[in-house]
Every structure is written in C-alpha cells, then in structure tokens.
Amino acid sequence: MSQYKEWSFPDTLRPKAPTLSFDLDALFDAIVELRALVPEQAFTANTLGTSRSGSGIVLDDRGTVLTIGYLITEAQTVFLTTRSGQVVQAVTLAYDQASGFGLLKALGTLNTPCVRRASSQLSKSGDTVYLLSHGGLPHALKARLADKRPFAGYWEYLLEEALFTTPAHPEWSGAGLFNADGALIGVASLLLQQATGGESNGESDGESDDQSGQGNMIVPIDLLEPVLDSLVATGHSGLPARPWLGLYAAEGDDRIVVAGLAERGPAMKAGLQQGDLIIDVAGSRVQSLATFLRAVWALGPAGVTVPLTIGREGELLRLRIQSADRNSMMYRPTAH
C-alpha cells in the first residue's frame, strides 16, 4: 500500500483523452479514495497495519464498491471520498479469500457514475491498458498488459491466471485496470519486481521491458462475476472455504521452505517450525508453492486434515495439520 501523497505521472505516461473511444473523465469520477481503520486486536493488524488506504471502484448505482480485499479486511470504519470531495462512510459486504476481492456498501448516496466490466479473456499480452487510481489524470497510467500467468502468494493464495502490467503504478492498491474500450478488467493487488516471465510467487527479481523491471499484479474481474450476486446478498461466495494452514512459504531450487507461521494458526498448533522444508502433501511430492497449494486444496474444504512430510535438520518428519477456515481467525467488527 502506497504512502505517496504529492506526485504525478509525466505526460508521456498518461492516457490522452482525445485519442480514446471512452469517457476518461467518467472513469475518474467512478474511482473513489478509500480509507479503512482496523482495530489493533485484529488478526491482520500486525501484517497489514491499522490504517489502510487505496482506491475503490463504483460498480452500480446502489453504492456497491469494489476494491482489493486486504484494504478492508477486519475494518471497523471505512470512508470513501469521491473526486468531487464528497465523503461517505461505507461498510464491508464481503472479502472473498479465493480471489482477493473486497466489496463495500456506501451508507450514503455516491454521486458518481459506475464502471462497465468486460472479461479479461478478451485482452491479450501486449495490449494497451489503463491503470487508474483515485486522483484523476495525474494518477492515471497508460500501461501495457505484459503477461497472463499463474501467481502464487506466500500467504496461501493462488490465481491460476493473473494479469501483469508495466510500467508500475505506485498507488496500486485497489486501482482499476481498464481495457481499450474503457471497461474494467481487473483490480490491482501488488507491486512486483518482475512483470514478465514464468509462474510467479511475488518474490522474484528480474528485468522486463520496463527499465525499472517493476510492474503490477492484477486480479482479473472474471473471478468476480460468478460470485458477485452471492457476495452482495450473503457476504459469502457460496463456495466451500479452502483449507488454511496458517503458514508463510518461500520457494527456490525446487524446494518449499516455511518462512513464518501465523500466531495460533493450525500449522503452529501442529508443530510446524520456521525453516522446515515441505517435501510432500499426502504422499504427493511438491516442489513449488503453486503445486503445494493445489495439493492441499485438493484434499477437501476447510477443516480437512492435511498430512505433510517435512525435512528438519536432516530428518524426515510427518505431521498432520487440522486445517481451518481463514475467516474464522478474523476480527468481526461491531455493527454501526
């Protein structure tokens, strides 16, 4: 999450309204500034902070706002500020752990337009795209869709096809990615050092065609469409929760290393330790973070027992971890 305040892209990196087939000004109006306040006792307070800021995207005239979920998870208070300066309080509708999307409901009328959406499958690597955060034209970036590939996150997160753009946007959290027709195709989640290449785990270094080598990882809007109605109506996707172990993993040289453990999480309770090597899941050898997560999730929904073979100080050990629903660890804000 960015701490940038007074900054702007140079003119050469900004979209040029006269050359576009859509109303760029309307898109700026449909993107709001988001500020979330999280209690100190929240599960994610130590890792994500208690004051979070980024962008939200107005989806409809009922005040439904889309953002990236880590901005609003466990938030007690959320404020939205429109481009015109209107400030409206909002409540969290849902945080979909599988995709990473977060949804909010504005408690007052947002006097803004809403965005159109289109499948990211219609966009291909090399296409010109636009990455827009709150702040209007100074914070608008004309970018390139650099790659579409799997992304595995060390916090037990996996997208089978994420979008990667270059150059990097420094205020990426919750920024909207729009195609050449001005339709929303994704929401920005991360800043990465490598925007092109093989399967990504968010920790790789390397060079892309951007001189800095940096780019952004974008969650495709296609992941939202099948679950949107359920998320708005119930706060849940309607799909079974994936098993969560509560570990942070790093990969390298065909090995998976436990880099950290969530306090009071299932892995810590089962005796897993920082520095352990994960060898297999239920007898299936795993050599990358993505294959590890797929193997765990294939065992069943949250609550399933996950057998692991680990390497520790030259010995092989077998552990059985009683998985959990990650949401069970989250702080539940009181109603306003």
How does DSSP assign 17-74, residue by residue? GGG-SS-HHHHHHTEEEEEEE--TTSTTHHHH-SEEEEEEEE-STT-EEEEEGGGTTT
List % helix, strand, coil for the chain (3-state, nearest 5).
Answer: 15, 40, 45
Residues 6+ apart with CB under 8 A from 259: 154, 248, 249, 250, 274
pLDDT score for 201: 57
48, 144, 132, 233: CA torsion to nearest 10: -70
The three-class DSSP label of residue 266 is: helix
284 and 271 Cβ atoms separated by less than 8 Å: no
Task: Print pLDDT tens along the chain (336 aa).
Answer: 444 457 899 999 999 999 999 999 999 999 999 999 999 999 999 999 999 999 999 999 999 999 999 999 999 999 999 999 999 999 999 999 999 999 999 999 999 999 999 999 999 999 999 999 999 999 999 999 999 999 999 999 999 999 999 999 999 999 999 999 999 999 999 999 876 665 555 544 333 344 457 999 999 999 999 999 999 999 999 999 999 999 999 998 889 999 999 998 999 999 999 999 999 999 999 999 999 999 999 999 999 999 999 999 999 999 999 999 999 888 876 554
Residues 36 and 91 sit within 8 Å (Cβ to Cβ): no
Pairing, β 51-58 against β 64-68: antiparallel
Q: Strand pairing partners for 79?
A: 35, 89
**pTM for this structure?**
0.92
User: Residues 215-229, buried b or exposed e (16+ Cβ, 10 A)?
Assistant: bbbbbbbbbbeebbe
C-beta of residue 133 within 8 angstroms of C-beta of residue 126: no
How big is the chain, counted in residues?
336
Decide if 140 contacts 175 (C-beta within 8 A). Answer: no
Backbone angles phi, psi at 89, to 5 degrees: -80, 150
DSSP 157: E
Which domains can be identified in the chain, with CATH numbers? Answer: 22-114+227-234 (2.40.10.10), 120-223 (2.40.10.10), 247-329 (2.30.42.10)
